[in-house]
Amino acid sequence: MNLLASLFVVASAAILFVLGAAHLLFTVRGPKLLPRDAALQARMKETSPVITRQTTMWKCWLGFNVSHSIALLLFGAVYGYLALAESELLFRSVFLLALGLAVLLAYVVLARRYFFSTPFAGVVVATLLYAGALVASRVQGP
């Protein structure tokens, strides 16, 4: 299999994995993802979303952040594994290659629109590495 293409995917996956791990850590520890306004955090803990009174906006905030982290970790783990241990499967599957690119492009759009410069730069670099893997895998062949 094409070692360069595999290494590009591993690097791309590692970036998402690190972003996911950092996001999870910042969600459950420390102040980095807390609102600067303590009163807002208190209101989020008191306020339910329209869909149900069984939770609060604060619990939703935490759950959404943790689930976002899990998605990044999953992408990093699965695509990193595939590139290292099952590269032939990965690079012969148009579905897996297209899915990986679609997920990365979706993260680029999300990061540009809703996040800040660090995650945006990270997912752009990860996407470029992944695209480089696609080119390298086609240049040298499977």
Q: What pLDDT is recorded for position 1?
A: 62
Tell me how far apart the alpha carbons of residues 107 and 98 are, in angstroms, rounded to a whole number.
Answer: 14
pLDDT at 59 over 70: yes
Percent of the chain predicted with pLDDT > 70: 97
Question: What is the arithmetic mean of pLDDT over 15-40?
Answer: 96
Q: Whole domain around residue 65: which residue ranges? A: 3-140
The total of structural domains in the chain comes to: 1
Tell me how far apart the alpha carbons of residues 81 and 41 are, in angstroms, rounded to a whole number.
Answer: 39
What angle do the packed helices 94-114 and 117-140 form, to 10 degrees?
A: 160
Q: What pLDDT is recorded for position 141?
A: 53
pLDDT at 36 over 90: yes
Tell me how far apart the alpha carbons of residues 92 and 124 are, in angstroms, rounded to a whole number.
Answer: 24
Contacts of 41 (CB under 8 A, 6+ apart): 34, 35, 58
pTM of the model: 0.92
